[in-house]
């Protein structure tokens, strides 16, 4: 026969185990709740950081492509151009080489005289959410006037051309992200060298990137 003292001891052990199980469950629920809150707080910051990296990467990639085209023109001894064409959501681009020593021209490209020497690419394929564009309120690096219109400021053209001497079309190519991320790739015509700039929205000024 089980004595009352043994029943009391057994009850205390069961009650202790139940309390421990209850505490573990409560702790698990609390931990899950904390993780959910931290995730909700940090996700927008992480997305913003990722977008900033992608936009900066897109601008550096475009500056590198310009210098690749310049090097190709000097190596081949003919004009080589980065050609931009409208393509949703902004533009696609490819490299063409002059085939008859009169520069890279639309008619010659269509006729196959100026040959395409690189595949068509889109900036968003490698850098998601980065596009050729100008964010509202961005100003011209020289005049300070608010920029509007096409993000390809290449003298009214959509062709960035480099000569065999290394000189190029003068102008600026603007790239932006989904938030306050704005970059500019500037080309100095006399040398064909590029300079990368970043727009600081808080100060409304450009700085080297």
What's residue 127's pLDDT? Answer: 96
pLDDT tens digits for range 48-94:
788 899 999 999 999 999 999 999 999 999 999 999 999 999 999 99
Full domain range(s) for residue 71: 4-208
CATH number for 80: 3.55.40.10
CA angle 180, 185, 188 (to 5 degrees): 150
- When pLDDT is cut at 50, 70 and 90, the band that residue 46 belongs to is confident
Residue 38 scores a pLDDT above 80: no
Residue 2 scores a pLDDT above 90: no
Q: Report the run of H or E that residue 26 belongs to, with start and end.
A: helix 4-76
Residue with tokens 């600081």: 200
* Separation of alpha carbons 3 and 86, rounded Å: 91
Sequence-distant (≥ 6) Cβ neighbours of residue 12 within 8 angstroms = none
Please give the tally of structural domains in the chain: 1
pLDDT tens digits for range 144-178:
999 999 999 999 999 999 999 999 999 999 999 99
- When pLDDT is cut at 50, 70 and 90, the band that residue 11 belongs to is very low
pLDDT tens digits for range 184-196:
999 999 999 999 9
Closest residue by Cα to residue 150 from 128, 133, 162, 172: 133
* Separation of alpha carbons 57 and 51, rounded Å: 10
């Amino acid at each position: 026969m089980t004595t009352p003292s043994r029943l009391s001891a057994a009850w205390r052990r069961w009650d202790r185990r139940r309390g421990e199980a209850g505490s573990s469950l409560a702790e698990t629920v609390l931990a899950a709740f904390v993780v959910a809150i931290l995730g909700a707080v940090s996700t927008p910051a992480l997305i913003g950081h990722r977008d900033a990296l992608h936009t900066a990467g897109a601008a550096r990639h475009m500056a590198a492509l310009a210098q690749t085209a310049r090097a190709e023109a000097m190596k081949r001894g003919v004009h080589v151009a980065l050609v931009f064409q409208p393509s949703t959501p902004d533009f696609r681009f490819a490299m063409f080489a002059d085939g008859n020593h009169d520069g890279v021209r639309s008619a010659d490209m269509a006729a196959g005289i100026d040959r395409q020497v690189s595949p068509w690419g889109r900036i968003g394929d490698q850098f998601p959410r980065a596009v050729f564009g100008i964010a509202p309120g961005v100003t011209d690096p020289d005049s300070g006037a608010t920029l509007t219109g096409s993000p390809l400021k290449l003298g009214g053209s959509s062709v960035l051309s480099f000569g065999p001497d290394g000189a190029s079309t003068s102008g600026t190519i603007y790239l932006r992200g989904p938030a306050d991320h704005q970059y500019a790739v500037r080309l100095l015509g006399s040398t064909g060298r590029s300079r990368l700039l970043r727009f600081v929205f808080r100060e409304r000024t450009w700085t080297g990137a």
